[in-house]
Amino acid sequence: MRKNKNHFHLDKKIKKAFELQKWPEIKSSDSWNIFKIMSEFVDGYDTLARIGPCVSIFGSARTKPGTKYYEQAHEIASILSKVGLGVITGGGPGIMEAANKGATESGGKSVGLNINLPFEQFPNKFIDYDKLIQFKFFFVRKVMFMKYAQGFIVLPGGFGTLDELFEALTLVQTRKVEKFPIVLVGKDYWNGLIDWIKNVLIDQENNADTEDIFLLKVVDTANEAAEEIIDFYSKYSLSPNF
> Which pairing describes strands 182-185 and 216-219: parallel, antiparallel, or unpaired?
parallel
The verdict on residue 223 lying in a domain is yes
DSSP state, residue 201? I
DSSP state, residue 227? H
Q: Strands of 110-115's sheet, edge to edge?
A: 132-135, 110-115, 86-89, 54-58, 152-154, 182-185, 216-219
Q: Provide the domain count of the chain.
A: 1
Residues 6+ apart with CB under 8 A from 64: 70, 94
The verdict on residue 180 lying in a domain is yes
The verdict on residue 161 lying in a domain is yes
d(CA 172, CA 18): 38
Cα-only R_g, the chain: 20
pLDDT in 10s for each residue of the chain, 242 residues: 445 555 555 566 566 665 665 655 555 667 778 888 999 999 889 888 888 889 999 999 999 999 999 999 999 999 999 999 999 999 999 999 999 999 999 999 999 999 987 765 689 999 999 999 999 999 999 999 999 998 999 999 999 999 999 999 999 999 998 889 999 999 999 999 999 999 999 999 999 999 999 999 999 999 999 999 999 888 765 555 43
The verdict on residue 42 lying in a domain is yes
CATH of residue 221's domain is 3.40.50.450
Residue 222 domain boundaries = 21-235
